[in-house]
Chain A
Amino acid sequence: MKKTPFCATSEQDQEAMFQTLGIADFDELFAAIPDELRSDELDVPEGLSEMEMMQHVRKMASKNSTELVNFCGAGFYDHYIPAAVDALSSRGEFYTAYTPYQPEASQGTLQAAFEYQTAICRLTGMEVANASLFDGGTALIEGIMMALRQTKRNKVLVDGGVNPIYRRMLECYTQNLSVDYGEIPISKNGVADRSAYAEAFDDSVGAVVLQNPNFFGCLDNLSELIEKIHEAKALAIMSVYPVALSHVETPGAMGADIVTGEGQSLGLPLNFGGPYLGFMATKKKYVRKMPGRIVGETEDAQGRRGYVLTLQAREQHIRREKATSNICSNVQLCALRAIIYLSLVGREGFLDVGRQCMDRASYAWKKLMQIDGVEPAFNRRFFNEFAIRLPKDATEVVSALVDQGIAAGFPVGRYYKGMENILLLSFTEKRTKEEIDIMVAKLESVLGA
């Protein structure tokens, strides 16, 4: 038999261990299992050496298009990641550790999680945050379930401006979890439709989900709508883009009860959809209904400050079928990347990243508006992303531009009927003036053709 990679036992040791156990071979270890269960066939290729494996994966990776200049965001953004994020988060002491169930041997993970929770509170303007959930979509689902537990109601109203990918997820989960799901389409000017909400409130509505800036990049101030939600005795959940919170009004200041979002922009690569970082924050009075791990500060017998997982009575390994969620893991390493990113960029640097994003979006907006036939989809303010109306089908236009090395944006028609000509463009600090100029010029020529 070929040597088994990553196994530590030598042939000699193996023999000695067999002797200790009084057996002759491995099969005897499995003697209690009926022979009929044994599977003889395993159609898996021969193992590769490290070098061969690397060559194979490199070859596959090379089939991806890596030269595209990207203006496609739609909730997932191509931000710059400082080198120290990778250097620090790839320390084995962090990534090869388990969940910190033994706090004395896990203070590194725990303190970093506490620092992360603090950062999320400060970004969102909320009082408490958990140590992370899988991604922005599952965090939103958890937020809804939390709000319905709190209000003891069964209906959720979801704004049409919430990322449609998340809305598909919400439909899937709510159907299976017997939750009443309703959507309120956005108003003509691209934001939450106040009057539609006023009509939709009744005493079954326990949660309302809003997004700011919404999927189309439109900024809103939701304070008054949230007041109305509270008058209807429901909780307001807001899904947010953390980089926008460098400048945009916080959900906390607008009165939101539960805040969730996708933290990928805080130092995580796009990575074809994951792993990402779901964050969640809420008001202190709701903390016992919040799912996910939470780290708290405490002391040892000598009065030394330390950190532990706390309020664990909410979780599945204690509560089993009565737990607040079935989900037992978070994404600690992603949360670690986020707090490293935020620490490296810092207070001023984070403001700067936000400014750079707005700067590029603003420049592109003006250039695009000069193209014949291009119109704003909504006449509203935006942060780093906006929607425009093209004189042609946006999918076809994007496809044509991809052939010229540009991912010009996301055609929203797939998710919004009647919006086949709408293109959603996003801008990060990584995009240069030259890249924007080229994109605009090529878009113009494709539209003219």
Chain B
Amino acid sequence: MKLIYEKSSPGRPGVQMSSIKISLTEEIPEKYLRSQPAELPEVSEAEVVRHFTALSRLNFSVDTHFYPLGSCTMKYNPKACEVAASLPELTGMHPLWPQLRGGGLLTQGSLAILYNTERLLSESTGLAEFTLQPMSGAHGELTGVMMMAAYHKDRGNEKDHIIIPDSAHGTNPASAQIGGYRVVTIPSDENGVMDFDLFTEALGEQTAGVMLTSPNTLGVFNPRIKEICDAVHGVDGLMYYDGANFNAIMGRYKPGDMGFDICHLNLHKSFATPHGGGGPGAGPVGVVEKLRPYLPVSRVAKTKDGTYTLNYDEPKSIGYIAPFYGNFGIIARAYAYILSLGRDGMLGTSNRAVLNANYLQEKLRPLFGADYKGRCMHEFVFSGEFLKPYGIHTLDIAKGMIDCGIHPPTVYFPLNVPEAIMIEPTESEDRDTLDNFVEVMEELVELAKTNPGKLLEAPVTTPVGRLDEVKAARDMRLSYT
């Protein structure tokens, strides 16, 4: 498809902006001005609408396709949450208005939404307090690690490393390292969880904390969490719960009750806010009481008379990790979602997410010859290694799936499973969709065995076939010229 710049023609007007001139603009000396205007497209409004509508149709999305992308939780994003968060009374609020008058009197509605959301997340996770500022899961992790560091510094603890299992999301070690800690990686045992003996060996006085995802990226819940938490607390370390997979346990288990000290949640996963083609998301972080002083400022507080205010006076706070209060628009969507689910709905949702995953796993097990018989949580991982004799890789199955109108599951993650394929159906899908997925999988595996050449050509129904990524990296054509 042509680029918007290739549709441009000189002098063609776009949207008419304000045309009222109220004074003779004082000329700014040339040395401060650019010599040429920016070469933005010159296209009519109708052409822009057609262009981006046509582009949108080139995408697979939750609204158009089954999207069982493991670890990403591509559940349905309720339209009502979009509408609620898009009310002009909310979107029109300037973030500095709370500083203009009475610490937030102008923005009581928005502050109440922040406050209520914090309370709901605290209750759902069993943690004392939440900050909504982090703008993604990874940002939440970094915030959590910074608080860990602040805690240890305040206590005079000399800590130098964080323990992370090898099945963790890549963001965990990256956050720990950027937060100033060395990373100690622990391999998984035969059950797919962090090897307990190797963990115990690695744990020591210098351990600042442990970052765990449970259920982990293999969809397996670590049954020895309590022991791990106790051991870590024994050296005054902190337990970090990566809540990327909170959607599996929502309403049933609370990280705080299990013994975790810090937990981030991905609102764009568990709480149904849209992924936006890659953000914006939100990664609020909850902490136990003893870590409250280190939370980022500002803090939303409710005063005795029921009004909301912003508190900046927290001497031990790690400071400003975001310009304001987080991705308010995303938080408002999650708030609307939690209100809609309610107490029973939270449990009902995680129940069904786990049921759908187990059902799919059970149905697909014979196809993949998977010998691991255990239950999974909300997602599961199979290996496509059995297809190698036919010259077929997991990637080829993924590409074949696109031709069948299904967005492929996550492939080649987690890294500790060869030819991994990671499937997460979510609660949004009905049984027919799951059964159809099984049929498609069976057909693709059959095709791999009988006519692998055809699968290697997939996808053929998309506007482009497999793209040359080596060429992209070598040519580095990163903008239109």
With beta carbons under 8 angstroms apart, the residue of B58, B319, B351, B477 that contacts A171 is B319
Chain A 1-29, CB within 8 Å of chain B: the 1/0 string?
A: 11111111110011011101100001001
- A378 CB-CB contact with B under 8 Å: no
Q: Is the CB of B94 within 8 A of A70?
A: yes
Q: Is the CB of A57 within 8 A of B34?
A: no
Q: A98-B69, A347-B38 are in contact. Are A6 and B277 (CB under 8 A)?
A: no
Q: A172-B318, A326-B175 are in contact. Are A108 and B38 (CB under 8 A)?
A: no
Query: What are the residues of chain B within 8 A of A45 when measuring CB–CB?
Result: 339, 342-343
- B152 CB-CB contact with A under 8 Å: no
Q: How far is the CB of B53 from chain A (nearest CB, A)?
A: 7
- Known: A93-B57, A340-B48; 18 extra A-B contacts, CB below 8 A, are A6-B340, A33-B221, A50-B78, A58-B84, A70-B94, A72-B94, A78-B94, A87-B49, A88-B53, A118-B480, A172-B296, A177-B178, A271-B91, A295-B478, A298-B471, A299-B471, A342-B41, A344-B45
- B375 CB-CB contact with A under 8 Å: yes
Chain A, range 57-101, C-beta contacts under 8 Å to B: 57-58, 60-66, 68, 70, 72, 74, 76, 78, 80, 82, 84, 86-88, 90-101
Q: Is the CB of B342 within 8 A of A111?
A: no
- B370 CB-CB contact with A under 8 Å: no
Q: Is the CB of B257 within 8 A of A13?
A: no
With beta carbons under 8 angstroms apart, the residue of B34, B272, B459 that contacts A104 is B459
- B287 CB-CB contact with A under 8 Å: no
In whole angstroms, what is the CA distance A65 to B430 when docked? 43
- A195 CB-CB contact with B under 8 Å: no
Chain B 385-419, CB within 8 Å of chain A: the 1/0 string?
A: 00000000000001100100001101001000000
Q: Is the CB of A39 within 8 A of B126?
A: yes
Q: Is the CB of B64 within 8 A of A398?
A: no
26 A–B contacts from the bound complex (CB under 8 Å):
A8-B352, A18-B355, A21-B355, A37-B226, A74-B96, A96-B62, A97-B62, A119-B38, A125-B34, A129-B479, A169-B319, A169-B321, A220-B32, A221-B32, A245-B34, A245-B38, A272-B107, A273-B95, A301-B466, A310-B478, A323-B174, A326-B171, A336-B52, A362-B23, A399-B101, A436-B22
In whole angstroms, what is the CA distance A188 to B379 when docked? 61
In whole angstroms, what is the CA distance A116 to B323 when docked? 24
In whole angstroms, what is the CA distance A56 to B90 when docked? 13
The CB with the most chain A CB atoms within 10 A, among B15, B42, B252, B464, is that of B464
Q: How far is the CB of B446 from chain A (nearest CB, A)?
A: 22
- B305 CB-CB contact with A under 8 Å: no
In whole angstroms, what is the CA distance A220 to B32 when docked? 6
Query: What are the residues of chain B within 8 A of A134 when measuring CB–CB?
Result: 135-136, 139, 279-280, 322
Chain A, range 313-349, C-beta contacts under 8 Å to B: 316-323, 325-334, 336, 339-340, 342-349
Query: What are the residues of chain A within 8 A of B75 when measuring CB–CB?
Result: 6
How many A-B Cβ pairs are below 8 Å?
Answer: 689
Q: Is the CB of A102 within 8 A of B398?
A: yes
Q: A176-B179, A311-B473, A407-B100 are in contact. Are A329 and B323 (CB under 8 A)?
A: no
With beta carbons under 8 angstroms apart, the residue of B72, B139, B344, B358 that contacts A29 is B358
- A253 CB-CB contact with B under 8 Å: yes
Q: A84-B45, A310-B469 are in contact. Are A29 and B351 (CB under 8 A)?
A: yes
Q: Is the CB of A300 within 8 A of B324?
A: no
Q: Is the CB of A399 within 8 A of B102?
A: yes
The CB with the most chain B CB atoms within 10 A, among A30, A39, A98, A119, is that of A98
Q: Is the CB of A270 within 8 A of B178?
A: no
Q: Is the CB of B4 within 8 A of A325?
A: no
Query: What are the residues of chain B within 8 A of A175 when measuring CB–CB?
Result: 319
Q: Is the interface of B mostly helix, strand, loop or mixed?
A: loop
Q: Is the CB of A39 within 8 A of B254?
A: yes
Q: Is the CB of A219 within 8 A of B87?
A: no
Query: What are the residues of chain B within 8 A of A129 when measuring CB–CB?
Result: 478-479
- B427 CB-CB contact with A under 8 Å: yes
Query: What are the residues of chain B within 8 A of A5 when measuring CB–CB?
Result: 78, 340-341, 345
In whole angstroms, what is the CA distance A204 to B198 when docked? 41
The 6 closest A-B pairs by CB, nearest first: A47-B342, A273-B324, A92-B63, A4-B348, A172-B319, A333-B276
Q: How far is the CB of B6 from chain A (nearest CB, A)?
A: 10
Q: How far is the CB of A36 from chain B (nearest CB, A)?
A: 7
Query: What are the residues of chain A within 8 A of B25 when measuring CB–CB?
Result: 355, 358-359, 362
Q: A138-B135, A298-B469 are in contact. Are A61 and B90 (CB under 8 A)?
A: yes
Q: Is the CB of B89 within 8 A of A64?
A: yes
Query: What are the residues of chain B within 8 A of A165 when measuring CB–CB?
Result: 320, 323-324
- B200 CB-CB contact with A under 8 Å: no
- B453 CB-CB contact with A under 8 Å: no
Q: How far is the CB of A322 from chain B (nearest CB, A)?
A: 8
Count chain A residues whose beta carbon lies closer than 8 angstroms to a beta carbon of B.
206
- A239 CB-CB contact with B under 8 Å: no
Q: How far is the CB of A397 from chain B (nearest CB, A)?
A: 11
Q: A47-B341, A78-B94, A115-B4 are in contact. Are A97 and B275 (CB under 8 A)?
A: yes
Q: A177-B178, A270-B93, A328-B171 are in contact. Are A20 and B124 (CB under 8 A)?
A: no
Query: What are the residues of chain A within 8 A of B62 when measuring CB–CB?
Result: 92, 96-97
Q: Is the CB of A321 within 8 A of B87?
A: no
Q: A84-B48, A109-B278 are in contact. Are A177 and B475 (CB under 8 A)?
A: no
Q: How large is the interface on B (under 10, 10 to 19, 20 to 34, 35 or more residues)?
A: 35 or more
In whole angstroms, what is the CA distance A65 to B51 when docked? 37
Chain A, range 269-319, C-beta contacts under 8 Å to B: 269-276, 284, 287, 293-302, 304-308, 310-311, 316-319
Query: What are the residues of chain A within 8 A of B14 when measuring CB–CB?
Result: 343-346, 348-349
In whole angstroms, what is the CA distance A50 to B461 when docked? 38
Q: A29-B355, A65-B106, A296-B475 are in contact. Are A105 and B59 (CB under 8 A)?
A: yes
In whole angstroms, what is the CA distance A112 to B44 when docked? 17
Query: What are the residues of chain B within 8 A of A148 when measuring CB–CB?
Result: none
Chain B, range 301-324, C-beta contacts under 8 Å to A: 318-324
Which residue of the partner chain B has the closest CB to A428? Answer: B18
Q: Is the CB of B341 within 8 A of A4?
A: yes
Q: Is the CB of A68 within 8 A of B106?
A: yes
In whole angstroms, what is the CA distance A168 to B322 when docked? 9
- A250 CB-CB contact with B under 8 Å: yes
- A231 CB-CB contact with B under 8 Å: no
- A137 CB-CB contact with B under 8 Å: yes
With beta carbons under 8 angstroms apart, the residue of B59, B89, B433 that contacts A93 is B59
In whole angstroms, what is the CA distance A50 to B79 when docked? 10
With beta carbons under 8 angstroms apart, the residue of A92, A274, A362, A410 that contacts B324 is A274
With beta carbons under 8 angstroms apart, the residue of B38, B126, B252, B413 that contacts A317 is B413
Q: Is the CB of A107 within 8 A of B40?
A: no
Q: Is the CB of A38 within 8 A of B53?
A: no
Chain B 141-176, CB within 8 Å of chain A: the 1/0 string?
A: 110001001000000000000000000011101111
Query: What are the residues of chain A within 8 A of B335 when measuring CB–CB?
Result: 57
Q: How far is the CB of A170 from chain B (nearest CB, A)?
A: 9
Chain B 77-117, CB within 8 Å of chain A: the 1/0 string?
A: 11010111011111111111101111001111110110000
Q: Is the CB of A273 within 8 A of B323?
A: yes
Query: What are the residues of chain A within 8 A of B471 when measuring CB–CB?
Result: 298-299
Query: What are the residues of chain A within 8 A of B279 when measuring CB–CB?
Result: 99, 132, 134, 275, 329-334
In whole angstroms, what is the CA distance A332 to B26 when docked? 38
Q: How far is the CB of B32 from chain A (nearest CB, A)?
A: 5
Q: Is the CB of B38 within 8 A of A123?
A: yes
With beta carbons under 8 angstroms apart, the residue of B17, B41, B319, B469 that contacts A168 is B319
In whole angstroms, what is the CA distance A307 to B407 when docked? 18
The CB with the most chain A CB atoms within 10 A, among B32, B258, B280, is that of B280
- A249 CB-CB contact with B under 8 Å: yes
